[in-house]
Structure 1
Amino acid sequence: MFSLPAIVVLLFMLFLNFKVYYTPETTVAASDTIRVDLLKQLRGLKGALQDNADVKMQRLYPEGYLFINALYGLAWCNFMTDLSSDSDYFKEGTAELQKTWNKIDSDLGRSPFNEELPLHYGAFYTGWSTYFLGRKLSLEHPSKRKETEVAHFKQQCNSIAASVKERIYPASYYGRAWPADAILCLAALSWHDKLFEPRYADVRKDWLDKVKNSLDARGLIPHAVNPSTGKSVESARGSSQALMLIFLREIDEPFARQQFSIFQANFVDSKLGLIGIREYPKGDMGIGDVDSGPVILQIGAAASFVGMQTMYAFGDREHGIALRNGVEAFALPWEGEDQKVYLFGWLPVADAFIAWGHSAEHGLHEPTPSFMVFHMISVPICIALAAFIWIMLKPKKPTSHVLHIPW
């Protein structure tokens, strides 16, 4: 009875120690190097979205519909960056990007957000939708871009510029603002100036000057602020920091690198020999919520998923690969012939986060991080489990019976 759970735990420990040495599969098709694992993840998400995974995620997460579609689309954008435009995979990605934009730019996509906010539909919707549209347009030849989409992108950028002149962090909902949403908005302005005639450099500079004067006690951009004053109401957290740094780098790389250095010192941590991103800075404790996902030993799930890409973006290859391989072990991947899902496909938004993180690798498979501490912790546990299982399952010696005759 007790041996079965012990066997399961032992097999899981062995599985973890094997999976931390994961290396993504690649193949060459024509002149393109195809990241096979990432393609399988994208196709797994494609199937989930065809089965209305985005609608299901909206029931679990306030912005689930938009979030899973935006992450899925951005993962395709990163995947397509390495491909030639005449590749079948590029054409598949182009079709998926159009489907994704049609979903984001729909009544259903906008439905959780309020049109009456100063920045229509709020900074979360405007930031993610405009940034995604900019990335989509960047992969299209100018002659093939839809005029309506170009006009919409420019209009949204103009609205963003006007809004951030009034408030550092425009509201996402009435009375609530998160700097991460504003940073997506400013990153969209950066894409505008890459794709079209530059016009927002001064807007970004003025905005950054205000941001630098409203940092938290550790010198980081806060997690949440009062939208009227821009003052912090919640200090920096790992999930939002990991996300903001990716986009902040597109706005102002020197400032982003300063922020990354502080982030590394306060949030990158090791537990049981494995690298993770804390949800709360070192010295602080907290529990998980809708933003962070599960927090185990103070390591945040969302922070670590997003942190893969953060590490790659700032050239910290070793920690990026260590995070990737830890996720590969603990997120329980299941792989079929044409798709790959995590957590048995129960939480597609986690698949979207992981795929988006993997999409930023661009062939970075080395250096191989050391997992010696994790192995040293695992070995005595495995020995103890094996000994317990052997004791429970070993054949019992027959009991000898002595005839006792009372006289």
Structure 2
Amino acid sequence: MRKFLKIVFSIFLLLPTVFFIHLSLRLYYEPQYTIDGKRAYNQAIIKQIHFLKDEISKGKAKEMQQIFPEGFIFFNAIYGLTWCELINKNDLTHPLAKEAINEIDRAIKEVNSEEGKRTFEKNLPVEYGAFYQGWTTLLLGKKLALIDSAQWNSTDIESFTSKCENIADAYIANDFTYLKSYSSGTWQADNIICLAALALHDKLFEPKYTEVIGKCIEHIKANLDTHTGLIPHSLDEEFPRGSSQSLINVFLPEIDSVFARRMYGKYKEHFLERRLGLVAIREFPKGHAGIGDIDSGPVIWDVGGVASIVGIKAMALHKDWATAKSLRNNIEGLGYPVCFNQQKKYFFGVFPMADAFIAWANVSLPEDKVQNEANSKMTFLLIAMLAVSLIIWIFYIMWKKEK
């Protein structure tokens, strides 16, 4: 019996050993790129998005709806947006381009289907709520931005301009205040997505919503959190949250670049954290703690899962390459990615929503821009070495032969 307990305890001790060794190695992760013409393609993201494509064909988006209130829309929208960023106007002759357009169209069709609308309430200030209208409008706009205007589909143009007009009319009728996501709640990040869609309209077409956007930004600036100076998480919560702050900092530069730089500085001040020498994004501001929920994902040692993943994209879009690369490599270590059959999946593929967000976050990080890192590798490696040494010592004491 004693020997059996030793074996069980030894197996238990192996887990932190594997963790420290694996994470130490992934700190040096560099994705593989292939050069095609003048463009370098991140093969890891291509493998990720093909895994997601396979998952969608198996109905995983519907399964995500059973876990998240907006799972079906979120999964399809993030998937489509990743394809939008994987290629650009100069890549439309690349073999990936045809596949990309087909998958973007499929995602647009899904989010505009009855299945996509089913969860949302139609009779709100903006039809189906700010979350639904923001993401579906933005996805369609990003598709238009991807292709040459001469090739725009009239149905896409009509749909996008109509949806933008509905959003703008709702803000005017609502005195430029936050629009509800549901009858039961209002989330500020959803409104940022709506405003990003309007800003995109004015880049693609003759500017029409400058005044609406400006007045909405004035309302946002007048209602910042008094403790941090940041945009609150929702109308019902006292403090901003890392999950929504990361998302807001992805899209705010498209709306108001000056205001975005100000918010980004405060975001880093209140949410950028270090754990064992490695950078991470908190879910709650420094000095405050809380537990995870459906918005944040897991919160461990104050670090938010969603906040840190989306934080990769926020950092990259603000050209904070060192922090973005460090966050990416930390997720590489913690996510235990598996590559098989030209597909890449994290957490052994059991939670594809995380895979979707990781692919979308990493597609904004061009490797040629990354020179330095924000991680303190030596601090973590020293801690890892000490931890593994302690485990080896415990093994030795436990299994040495008694005299």
TM-score by length of 1: 0.93
Instruction: Answer yes or no: is the 8 Å Cα contact 2:242–2:281 preserved in 1.
Output: yes
Match for residue 372 of structure 2?
367
Report 1:3-402 matches (<5 A). 3-81=10-88, 84-165=91-172, 166=174, 167-217=176-226, 218-225=228-235, 233-363=237-367, 364-369=369-374, 370-394=376-400, 396=401
CA apart distance, 1:234: 3.3
Q: Which has the larger radius of gyration?
A: 1
> How far has the Cα of 1:393 moved from its partner?
4.5
> Secondary structure in 1 aligned to 2:189?
helix
Partners of 2:81 and 2:357 lie apart in 1 by 10
CA contact (8 A) 1:10 1:386 kept: no
Structure-2 change in CA distance of 1:88 and 1:379 (3 Å): same
Q: Name the amino acid aligned to 1:123.
A: A
CA offset at residue 82 of structure 1? 7.6
Q: Tell me if the contact between 2:239 and 2:284 (Cα under 8 Å) persists in the aligned partners.
A: no
Partner of 2:4: none
Contact 1:239 1:302 in 2 (8 A): yes
Shift of 1:8: 3.3
Amino acid at match of 1:387: W
Distance 1:68 1:223 in 2: 21
Q: Give the whole-Å Cα distance in 2 for the aligned partners of 1:325 and 1:18.
A: 10
d(CA) in 2 for partners of 1:148 and 1:24?
Answer: 38
SS in 1 for 2:84: helix
C-alpha separation between the residues in 2 aligned to 1:29 and 1:133?
27
Q: Is this contact kept in 2: 1:74–1:135, CA < 8 A?
A: yes
CA distance in 2, matches of 1:82, 1:28: 17
> What letter matches 2:133 in structure 1?
T
Instruction: Please say which of residues 91-100 and 384-393 is displaced more in the overlay.
Output: 384-393
Runs of 4+ in 1 over 3 A off after TM superposition: 390-394
Q: How many residues align?
A: 391
Q: Per-residue deviation at 1:4? A: 1.9
In structure 2, distance between residues paired with 1:151 and 1:234: 40
Aligned-partner Cα distance in 1 for 2:157–2:258: 30
Using the alignment, how far apart are the partners of 2:398 and 2:53 within structure 1? 46
Asked if the contact 2:126–2:179 (Cα under 8 Å) also holds between the matched residues in 1, the reply is yes
Asked if structure 2 preserves the Cα contact closer than 8 Å seen for 1:32 and 1:82, the reply is: no
Distance in 2 of aligned mates of 1:257 and 1:379 = 39
Alpha-carbon separation, structure 2, partners of 1:367 and 1:81: 27
Q: Which runs of 5+ in 2 are unaligned?
A: 1-6
Distance 2:254 2:150 in 1: 25
> Superposition RMSD on alpha carbons, in Å?
1.5
- Work out the CA distance in 2 between the residues paired with 1:196 and 1:80: 22
Question: Does the aligned pair in 1 maintain the 2:62–2:72 contact within 8 Å?
Answer: yes
Instruction: Tell me the CA shift for residue 380 of structure 1.
Output: 1.1
Distance (Å, rounded) in 2 between the aligned partners of 1:33 and 1:337 = 22
Gaps of 5+ in 1: 226-231, 400-407
Identity %: 38
